[in-house]
Chain A
């Protein structure tokens, strides 16, 4: 077992222990742990020799970082302009209704987290949502329940 500090150490090494690589280091840790626990952030501070405030300043600025564990299924509803004009708000409301969680929340049983995002870059297929890495395009309100059934 290499433990949290071992993992942090390894990731910081991979990026040459370079302070300029803070964002890249945090991205790797985020994707490894699925979120950024306190001890990970403290570990980064220690390894890079920078103030903890700087680690938090960066980590709280960017959207990729999460300070709470995410659910097993990460559901993202695209709210980009192309999806918006094709009815994304109605899709979002329906997903919220079916899952019973608000955007930004994770269900108490840790099964799914719901997020709304600005653009998934899949604009021709709008409205779009992703479940994990899977894209679901051309959604209608009546598709939502069926599509979400997979992770219920």
Chain B
């Protein structure tokens, strides 16, 4: 034994393995979210606009109803609303005025995708809510991949950190078009705390580095992630309608070319997820409603509308065929409530809460 140890220590490869093991152990113990998250773990959102919100409000009161809303960037007031003015907070106020004891937990996540929703549903079941509201939108079908996956606890990292979830994913498109290198990368993310610690490091650095530097330091832009205070500062005083020219230009550039093929893949993913979700929620006796998010119809690019409509029709059919409720709010709000194509300002959040109030009330009965 002593001889074997001596031989190992004589070789630089032996020392290298020892050093890597020490680093791995250090990363596993010390680095935040380098540990594999478990289904019951509560994630704290280290960045204001991405990752898991601090959604758990503690134990549900004995005579109180719990509603969980899983929405997208609209639900977190991306660049345009303070947390206390979000429609989820407004809904709580409305219920309080009506003297109905309801707690709303806002589980929204910027850029949420179907796999995100699927993953959140697992956690939602554990909370045993009285109603679960899924807000579908752009992210369920649109093109932009999460370019900032690398240093935020986003879809892939979360899925990678949740091995129990993998069997559900293996047949979906989410993993179909991946290369061998993607698989290896995910394998490393799951099994190596050292590999995951890169995410922690980048996240910590990203907080202190101005946004415009990110592309040249991390290799890809983190442009969409803007701090709330910065975003509110940037927001024009008067409501821009139609939206600022540069946003329209960007939208027109990016969205007419929206690849239908990609939408099809996301739809396929949704088609695979949906029955599983439906079954799981029904089995756990959790009532749920699907809502299609409102968008600024006046300025929404035509091609985008067309693609979205296809998706809506398809998902609508799917949901209608099941027993779940499906409510289309696509054009429920006038354009004046929007700060961007699909992001509401604070008045918009108030207006949306008024629309959602009877829906939730109905759902709770």
Q: Do A and B come from one complex?
A: no
A residues with CB within 8 A of B: none
